[in-house]
Amino acid sequence: MPAETPPPDANLAAGRCPVAHGSRKTGPTDRPQAELEQDSAGVWHVYGHSVALQILRSPCTRQAGFRADEFFATPQVTKTPVVFLDGDEHREHRRLTARFFTLRAVVDNYQPAMESLADSTVATLTERRRMDLSELALTYATGVVAQVLGLSGSDVPALAARLEACFAAPLVPLSLNPRTWARLILNNARIFQLYRADVRPAVALRRRGGAGPDDLISHLLGRGYRDRDILTEVFLFAAAGMVTTREFICVAAWHLLENPALRAEYLAAGEARRHRVLQETLRLEPVVQVLHRRATDDIRVRRTDGTQVVIAAAARIAVHTAHVNTDEAAAGGHPMDLCTNRVIRSERGRGALVGFGDGPHRCPGEHVAIQETDILLHRLMACDGVRLTGAVCQGRNDMVEGYELRGMTIEL
């Protein structure tokens, strides 16, 4: 969406938002002074925005998040998922799948489903008068991601439960311990349930010619993917599209419901302005709080003071998005505050900074996430008497290296 020009204001010139919109609710509330440092284990930690962009855009790194090292350490019987690809093969796959994630695709292909799902969600809340916000967001986000992937024939609440069970499975390092093998069997059983109930029927339908070409499963079949390859892609795309959007909906609702001025501004705004509010929320509260990379060659990084550091090949790198997004060099003054008139100083002016990542592995679903979140929240915030109750419990999701928000009840 085109950015709207913020109104001139003396507070903005001083680095402050004209209206107090609240401060960070998740993640650290202070920043390390270093832009880049190495710990005793040899891992490089990135806190500065300029250094983060150099790392994320470098051709000398590969994906090391989403359990990548575990994937590559295991004998492979499937194609390498796109989230773990790099180089020419990764660029080609992203080019071929880009049509599913453009703004036009969102508006034309997914927005009607988003609106229908949001209306149904609000109707359910109106009938029940109170709902668990996290469960509400889970079901809604699952319904949207099902449309993108090609699982629209699945029962959404049941699909959400199966996906959540898969994502809740702990990491299980290989060992001879019988308990380890028992956990591996349980994890694989959960994945098989997802395949049997959702992926296999969707694949069979398309092989019979019963579905159109505009979803990810149809695309993968056209590229010669086997069922197990499709299952892997569906699992990882769902992790990116459902898990993270669920938390984003929760944290954005938390800000809106706790701050009447912010909620009033959001409800009175046009779509572009609302999207800007959500981008600023994600800048402040990035769901994925650490982006992992591994150096494939020596990388020469320049700090803002002009000094250079060489990160050796094979080193692990952790880009801390919550710190990067509060670097005043990019975010401007008072970076720990939510400011809807914030002027981003980054070269591309992205409101969320690295909230959606950057470089070759930047999240392709940005338009989907912002649009679906706005469509739901705009309806929820317009409900008479809507309020948030219950103590918010913050946990952690090890798979996406981000926060989890539970215990939030939305009431009318």
pLDDT digits (tens, 9 = 90+) for 55-94: 999 999 988 877 666 666 665 556 777 877 788 888 888 8
At 399 the pLDDT is 80
Distances (CA, A) of 96 to 82, 89, 100, 105, 220: 11, 11, 9, 14, 10
With a CB cutoff of 8 Å and minimum separation 6, the contacts of 64 are 292, 293, 294, 316, 317
Q: Find the Cα–Cα–Cα–Cα dihedral 270, 276, 279, 285, rounded to 10°.
A: -90
Nearest Cα to 244, choosing from 90, 10, 403? 403
Site of tokens 């925005």: 49
Contact 15, 334 (CB under 8 A): yes
Site of tokens 């079901």: 139
At 187 the pLDDT is 67
At 44 the pLDDT is 98
Q: Of residues 287 and 177, which shows the higher confidence score? A: 287
At 241 the pLDDT is 83
Judged against a pLDDT cut of 60, whether residue 140 lies above it is answered with yes
Q: Which domain holds residue 209?
A: 10-411
Judged against a pLDDT cut of 60, whether residue 362 lies above it is answered with yes
CATH number of the domain residue 232 falls in:
1.10.630.10
Q: Of residues 356 and 6, which shows the higher confidence score? A: 356
**Beta-bridge partners for 388:** 410
- The answer to whether residue 5 is domain-embedded is no
Nearest Cα to 194, choosing from 228, 224, 242, 220? 228
Q: Of residues 176 and 200, which shows the higher confidence score? A: 200
Residue count of the chain, please give it.
Answer: 412
Nearest Cα to 49, choosing from 271, 344, 265? 344
Site of tokens 């989230």: 83
CA 394 to chain centre: 17
**Beta-bridge partners for 404:** 395
Other Cβ atoms less than 10 A from the Cβ of 316: the count is: 17
Judged against a pLDDT cut of 80, whether residue 342 lies above it is answered with yes
Q: Find the Cα–Cα–Cα–Cα dihedral 15, 19, 24, 29, rounded to 10°.
A: 40
Task: Give the lowest-confidence range in 105-109, 112-116, 248-252, 320-324.
Answer: 105-109
Of all residues in the chain, what percent carry a pLDDT higher than 70? 85
At 73 the pLDDT is 62
- The answer to whether residue 1 is domain-embedded is no
Nearest Cα to 291, choosing from 232, 392, 359? 359
Confidence of residue 21 (pLDDT cuts 50, 70, 90): low
- The answer to whether residue 128 is domain-embedded is yes
Tens of pLDDT, residues 145-157: 999 999 988 999 9
Phi, psi of 62 (to 5 degrees): -130, 160
At 398 the pLDDT is 83
Nearest Cα to 338, choosing from 243, 410, 240, 263? 263
Nearest Cα to 264, choosing from 141, 382, 135? 382
pTM of the model: 0.89
- The answer to whether residue 4 is domain-embedded is no
Could you tell me the strand order of the sheet in which 290-295 lies? 36-38, 44-46, 316-320, 290-295, 61-63
Mean pLDDT, to the nearest integer, of 319-332? 96
In the chain, the N- to C-terminal Cα span, in Å, equals 32
Q: Which two tokens stand for residue 412?
A: 């009318």
**Beta-bridge partners for 143:** none
Q: What is the largest CA-CA distance in the chain?
A: 66
- The answer to whether residue 54 is domain-embedded is yes
Q: Which two tokens stand for residue 337?
A: 């505050």
At 181 the pLDDT is 47
- The answer to whether residue 102 is domain-embedded is yes
At 30 the pLDDT is 87
Q: Of residues 184 and 302, which shows the higher confidence score? A: 302
Judged against a pLDDT cut of 80, whether residue 299 lies above it is answered with yes
Question: How many domains, in total, are found in the chain?
Answer: 1
- The answer to whether residue 266 is domain-embedded is yes
Confidence of residue 4 (pLDDT cuts 50, 70, 90): very low
- The answer to whether residue 303 is domain-embedded is yes
Strand locations in 305-378 (E): 308-311, 316-320
